[in-house]
Amino acid sequence: MDTSARIDGERLLKRLDEFAAIGATPAGGVNRQALSVEDRAARARLAALAQERGFAVFQDPMANLFIRRPGVSDDLPPFLIGSHLDSQPMGGRFDGALGTLSAFEVLETLEDAGIRTPMAVEVVAWTNEEGSQYSPGCMGSMAFASGAIPGEWQAARSPDGKVLGEELTATLDALPRAIQRPLGGAVSGYLEVHIEQGPTLERENIPIGIVHAIQGTRWLEVVVTGQTAHAGTTQLSFRRDPLVAVTDALQDLYNTVMPNDERARLTIGRISVEPASINAIPGKVSFSVDLRHPDAAELARLENHVRAICETKASALGCEATIRRTFDMPPAQFSPSLLQAVEQAASRLAVPFRPMLSGAFHDALFLARVTDAAMIFVPCRDGLSHNEAEFVEPEHCVLGAQVLLHSTLAALAAYR
């Protein structure tokens, strides 16, 4: 394998700065929410850069943006590399932008070096990965993978009342020179660089994570009801305090789920009580459970475990637990052949790497349903993401793009 091709690190870093200025926040972050004026500006800038290099620009009805460098033959479907350009409302400058601009850097490097590829390579920027304006997130990749835009999305409203269908049309209209193409279609493979959004790589001082799977996620909403009563007048034997039951259940879950299985994740992100009066025993406690596991059977077992503990602890105190599943995302496995290509690239570049699970969702999760897909993670400072302080060392940005270039070349080599 020839590893002489080199991405232009300075050009990539300059582009990252340039895009970070689009929707920049005073604290150094980015507010470039999906389909906003800022998002359109970023898309227009990327399209202009593409046109300067003579690459064709396409957009599909979901406003997913594609930049195409032709291959030797059009008989084979394109190989996609990319990520997203939208951000959280107080987001960082790397989440999404790093993967999209690294992919564009790869495209320019291929062009600069005159490397011919067996099929077209396309950079893609997926629409609305974050879901902060219109729910759910990953709309662009989800619609691409399914080949359809769910009808109800058109009427989805942002917190300030904007209607998705209208903003989608305005976003498409803002790039009149882009060529319209239908949603979906055959793809030869998909690779995405992303920041880890967790602390593992930084703490282990490893610059590259090769993501072999995305954990499955289930969300539960647990409500435990007891009997509200006066804090001062009610003796212990007369209390049916649901918070005592919930405390007992959570203690048990915290002690049994993650300590017994390093692949499991259990998070209680929300808890609230009613009537929420200082001097009243709560009558009702509600909390959310975020459960994750890369193994589907184990995830199902964990859900049953949570249900059993909550029900047992509640009934032991004369309370009642009702448990509702509000979200269920099965685990996704990435393509072994593509993972092998990434490992091969990292090894030949002599870049330290480790296999990883992704705990967060990504557009790659949906691409994995229709093609070979894999992801490359780079470290971020203190594991911080969805935060204006999000930061990736310049050398890790460059290394991620370099590994993406050679992973792409290694993957394409199979078609030669």
Q: Which two tokens stand for residue 358?
A: 């992704």
What separation in angstroms does the CA of 231 have from each of 214, 239, 276, 278? 46, 10, 12, 8
Choose the stretch contacting a copy of itself; rule: CB under 8 A; options: 12-20, 73-81, 235-243, 405-413. Answer: 235-243
Q: Supply the minimum distance, in Å, between the C-beta of residue 340 and a copy of itself.
A: 24
User: Residue 15: CB partners within 8 Å, gap ≥ 6?
Assistant: 49, 101, 104, 105
Q: Does 197 interact with a copy of itself (rule: CB under 8 A)?
A: yes
Say if residue 95 carries a ligand binding annotation: yes
Q: Does 258 interact with a copy of itself (rule: CB under 8 A)?
A: yes
User: Toward a copy of itself, which CB reaches closer, 8 or 248?
Assistant: 248
Footprint (CB under 8 A) of a copy of itself, residues 380-409:
383-386
Please tell me the distance from the alpha carbon of residue 339 to that of residue 165, in angstroms, as a whole number.
37
Q: Supply the minimum distance, in Å, between the C-beta of residue 262 and a copy of itself.
A: 7
Q: Does 250 interact with a copy of itself (rule: CB under 8 A)?
A: yes
Q: Supply the minimum distance, in Å, between the C-beta of residue 81 and a copy of itself.
A: 22
Q: Does 350 interact with a copy of itself (rule: CB under 8 A)?
A: no
User: Residue 100: CB partners within 8 Å, gap ≥ 6?
Assistant: 46, 82, 83, 84, 85, 123, 125
User: Toward a copy of itself, which CB reaches closer, 43 or 292?
Assistant: 292
User: Toward a copy of itself, which CB reaches closer, 86 or 196?
Assistant: 196
Footprint (CB under 8 A) of a copy of itself, residues 277-306:
277-282, 288, 290, 292
Please tell me the distance from the alpha carbon of residue 274 to that of residue 278, in angstroms, as a whole number.
11
Find out whether the peptide bond into 394 is cis, omega within 30 degrees of 0: no
Q: DSSP state, 203?
A: H
| Residue in 113, 148, 231, 308 binding a copy of itself, rule: CB under 8 A | 231
Q: Supply the minimum distance, in Å, between the C-beta of residue 404 and a copy of itself.
A: 20
Please tell me the distance from the alpha carbon of residue 81 to that of residue 24, in angstroms, as a whole number.
25
Footprint (CB under 8 A) of a copy of itself, residues 19-58:
none
Across-strand partners of 220? 289, 325
Q: Does 200 interact with a copy of itself (rule: CB under 8 A)?
A: yes
User: Toward a copy of itself, which CB reaches closer, 15 or 362?
Assistant: 362
Q: Supply the minimum distance, in Å, between the C-beta of residue 133 and a copy of itself.
A: 15
Pairing status of strand 373-378 against strand 189-195: parallel
Q: Angle between the 394-413 and 336-348 helix axes, to the nearest 10 degrees?
A: 120
Which residue numbers belong to the known binding site?
84, 95, 130, 194, 386
